[in-house]
Structure 1
Amino acid sequence: MENHTVFIENREKITVTDITDIDSFDEEEVRARLKTGSIVIKGSRLHLQLLDLAQGKAVVSGLVSSLIYVKVKDKDGKSLLSRLMK
């Protein structure tokens, strides 16, 4: 497994590694895919400052209000928890 890091500077700049793609972005939300799932960055005046997919790195500037990891779903569209609760 690759190392994944998140570095937030004063809630104004966030650097994320292990990025494989950006699903969507606007001034209030950035949705990105990681090798191990997905991540959602929420805030205001967000700007995708750097995207280097070869190195798996993204830098977002603006006012960061939250960072959310999204569950990874299997091929059937079920989360790990729902498969365990069978």
Structure 2
Amino acid sequence: MDGKKSAVAHKLMLERQKGGTITGIREVISFDEKEILLHTEEGKLSLKGDSLHVRHLDLESGELSLEGRIDSLAYLGRKKEKKEESLLKRLFQ
């Protein structure tokens, strides 16, 4: 083995705003009772809410389970693929 982790499919399953499970986690950037910030296979993910707690974290398998009230989630700073950009936009960058 070369020491690299294999990519795990990113999935997000919420259970009635009271917690859930996320796979495809690369890193936990920060967390507290109001926000959890993760680096996933799909980019940075911010979960905001109240009384948020990480129940289980396994970075080897890329899995995280959490509990608490989840009010919002957002992917941050996702870049479009170059092939999706228009020709004019690419020419004038």
- TM value normalised by structure 2: 0.75
Correspondence 1:47 to 2:47: no
Aligned to 1:56: 62
What is the rounded CA distance, in whole Å, between the counterparts of 1:71 and 1:16 in structure 2?
19
Aligned to 2:14: 8
What is the rounded CA distance, in whole Å, between the counterparts of 2:22 and 2:28 in structure 1?
12
Code of the aligned partner of 2:37: R
Choose the corresponding residue for 1:17, options 9, 23, 26.
23
Matched-pair contact (CA < 8 Å) for 2:8–2:61: no
Code of the aligned partner of 1:13: G
Choose the corresponding residue for 2:43, options 37, 41, 44.
37
Q: Give the number of the structure whose alpha-carbon radius of gyration is greater.
A: 2
SS of the residue corresponding to residue 59 of structure 1 reads: strand
Matched-pair contact (CA < 8 Å) for 2:52–2:67: yes
> What percent of counterpart residues are identical?
29
Give the unaligned 5+ runs of structure 1.
73-78
Q: CA RMSD in A?
A: 1.7
SS of the residue corresponding to residue 17 of structure 2 reads: coil
What is the rounded CA distance, in whole Å, between the counterparts of 1:2 and 1:71 in structure 2?
21
Code of the aligned partner of 1:23: I
SS of the residue corresponding to residue 32 of structure 1 reads: strand
- Count residues in correspondence: 78
Indicate the structure with greater strand content: 1
Flag as ranges the 4+ runs of structure 1 deviating above 3 A: none
**How far does the alpha carbon of each residue in 1:47-70 deviate from its partner, in whole angstroms, 9 at most, with x for none?**
011110011011110000011011
